[in-house]
Each structure stands twice: as C-alpha cells, then as structure tokens.
Amino acid sequence: MSIDETKPELNKYNWGYDPQNYNVPEGSYSTDATGPAMRIREFKQMVKAMHDNGLRVIMDVVYNHTGATENSNFNLLAPGYYYRQNPDGSFSNASACGNETASDRPMMRKFIIESVLHWVKEYHIDGFRFDLMGIHDIETMNQVSEALHAVDPTIFIYGEGWTAGGSPLPDSLRALKSNVLKLNKVAAFSDDIRDAIKGHVFTPTEKGFISGKAGLEESIKFGVVASTQHPQVNYDSVNYSKAPWAPEPYQTITYESCHDNHTLWDRIAVANPDASEAERIRMNKLAAAIVLLAGRKLPARRRRDAAHQKWRRKLFRIARRDQPFRLVEESQIQGRL
C-alpha cells in the first residue's frame, strides 16, 4: 500500500484509490494511528461537527477495484470470485488500476450494500459518490439505492458513469451514464457540460465555451436542461451524448471541475495563456453562472480570490432562492426554459 500507518514520519499522501479495508477510516488522518479507537472517534467527531454547522457529508467510495489483486483480502478469501476476468482467465481492468471487482456476483454485491449501510448507520454519512460507477452493474446500484433510502430518504447517491477501460460485463448491464434511465434515484456526472464549458478534460490547452470556442452552444444548452429531454436542444450537435440520458434533472451532476485534473482557474490559465487576469476572472464567472443557473446541479469549487468567492456566493443564493432557477423536475425545465 502507498501509506504505511506505522511510519508517519515519511509524510506520505494518497488520494484513496488503492483501497484495502473498506469499512474503517484511514488511520493516517487520525492524530494517533496506533490507537485503533482514535480514528473511529475522530471521524465521528468530524461528521458531527459538520452536521452541527449545517453541512452534510458525502463519502467518495472506491468499490470498483482494490489496491492489491492476487494478495488482496478478497482474493485471499475466495480466489478469483470477487473480480471479473478476461476470456483468457486474466484479471480484467476497467479501472486501469490492475483489476475490477465483480459487483454482479452475489457476495460482492452483498458486501457493497452492507458496507454503505455500515457507514450510514455507524458514522451518519449523508451520501456517496461512486468512483467509476460504470464498472458496477445496474442491479447492484439500484439495490444500494433501495437499501440506503429505506434508512434515510434524503441520502444522495451519484457517481462517474464511465470506466477507465474495457470490461467483460456488457454495457447494457453496467451503471453507465447512458443507462441512468435504468437507475433509481442515482445520479451521474455530466462530462457533456463539463467539457463544453472549459474544453476536453484530458487536453489542457483546448479552449471551451467560456474562452470563445465555437460550436458548443448545443452542448451548453444540453447541460443547462440537465441532460433531460427538451425541444430546443439539437441533440445531434451535443458533444458526446446524442440523446437525453437523465429522466429527471436530479439525476445529472452539472459541474465545471472536480478533484481530477486541473482546477478550473488553472485550466483557464493553461488554455488561455495570453488572456489577462481580468479576462480569466470573467471566464471563471461565466462558468459558475452556467452551472449555478442550470437545472439540478452540483456546484464546483476552487477560486481563491475573495471578491470572486463573494460573487459566487451571491449567485448561489439567487439560484437557491428564486423559483425560476429551482427546476427539479423535467416538466419544470420544459415549461420554463
């Protein structure tokens, strides 16, 4: 593993994508990793402090792969069972991390469901962001949703509706963005609007709508209506999706940047090296306006300028307060936009 809890002096850091033990907090974040109870106590104190201040807590969960493969806890328990395999018997790798778990198999599905329930009941987590959700099968995600919403109807479940490589499980069975219509109360990130706003996520120098690139108008409109059906969107001209994939706006995560790749501000700077700071700020504000004034959304973050943050908070208050911007059903979007 990338972090050895017994050697804090090494000052190592990991984003959390080499999972080993899913049902206990990471000890390196606690004040004393040698005391088993400390990480549990401090994690609960952290969640309570957030709740006391009116904040809800969403956990990023990476059930789609494990850091180790042959010597993982899963594989030592039941060799081969918890992972998908290629036709030649080798481990398939839709995660691009060396393996992919087989959520479609009963015991892996059972593990995922019981794991998220544990985090909700024991630690009072309010939602889950599923890393590479497109690796998981639709049935598992729907059972996760059913189990969690039976405990708390307000729990928020969303994820990445794609993979990082090919999977032996057919596309029709996986929780991909194109299959959100088959998911119950589960949302997916919209890379359509993300890349339309700022340019392709893996091409840092590519410009987007906010920096003047032409031909992205329909992709922006597609994002504004939250990937739903709307008569004023020409779906043939949308960058990725050629048809609406969200039955309701709450199943689309409309965003401009997240934890992956460049922050929005850095991306604007890389793609527009000749632009002045004032011009870059206007691009940043335009991106925020698109996201915050669209249908159901997950506002992005990251801009350290105090004046800009004040402007963004004002815009967010408008979006939350004013009824024209609180469009949570497809029928509302069709009738008002």
Residues 76 and 34: their CA atoms lie apart, in Å, by 25
Let me know: does 191 contact 152? Beta carbons within 8 Å. Answer: no
pLDDT at 324: 52
Residues 23 and 125: their CA atoms lie apart, in Å, by 13
Residues 270 and 262: their CA atoms lie apart, in Å, by 9
Which runs of E-coded beta strand occur in the chain? 58-61, 127-130, 156-159, 187-189, 252-253
List the domain boundaries for the chain. 15-134+148-184, 190-337
Side-by-side strand order, sheet with 127-130: 58-61, 127-130, 156-159, 187-189, 252-253
pLDDT at 14: 75
pLDDT at 294: 82
Spatial neighbors of 48 by CB under 8 A, at least 6 apart, are 124
pLDDT at 132: 97
Active-site positions read 131, 160
Q: What's the pTM value of the predicted model, to 2 decimals?
A: 0.89
pLDDT at 333: 66
Tell me the Cα Rg of the chain. 21
- Per CATH, the homologous superfamily of domain 15-134+148-184 is Glycosidases (3.20.20.80)
pLDDT at 159: 97
pLDDT (tens, 9 = 90+) of the chain, 337 residues, equals: 678 888 888 887 777 788 989 999 988 889 998 889 999 999 999 999 999 999 999 999 999 999 999 999 999 999 999 999 999 999 999 999 999 999 999 999 999 999 999 999 999 999 999 999 999 999 999 999 999 999 999 999 999 999 999 999 999 999 999 999 999 999 999 999 999 999 999 999 999 999 999 999 999 999 999 999 999 999 999 999 999 999 999 999 999 988 788 999 999 999 999 999 999 999 999 998 899 888 654 444 444 455 556 666 666 666 566 555 566 676 776 766 6
197 sits in the region (left: phi over 0; alpha: psi -120 to 50; else beta) called alpha
Give 268-275 contacts, CB < 8 A, sequence gap 24+: 268/198, 268/210, 268/211, 270/204, 270/205, 271/198, 271/199, 271/204, 271/205, 271/206, 271/207, 271/208, 271/211, 272/207, 272/211, 275/211
pLDDT at 304: 47
pLDDT at 180: 98
Phi/psi of residue 218, each to 5°?
A: -70, -35
Tokens 């984003």, residue? 15
Q: H-helix or E-strand containing 37?
A: helix 36-52
Pairing of strands 58-61, 187-189: unpaired
Let me know: does 273 contact 235? Beta carbons within 8 Å. Answer: no
261 sits in the region (left: phi over 0; alpha: psi -120 to 50; else beta) called left
Residues 140 and 182: their CA atoms lie apart, in Å, by 12
pLDDT at 17: 81
pLDDT at 327: 66
Q: Following CA atoms 171, 175, 181, 184 in sequence, which dihedral angle do they give, to the nearest 10 degrees?
A: 150
Residues 239 and 107: their CA atoms lie apart, in Å, by 38
Residue type for 232, please?
Q
pLDDT at 312: 60
Residues 257 and 265: their CA atoms lie apart, in Å, by 9
Note the Cα 307 to chain centre separation in Å.
Answer: 28
Residues 184 and 4: their CA atoms lie apart, in Å, by 39
Note the Cα 77 to chain centre separation in Å.
Answer: 30
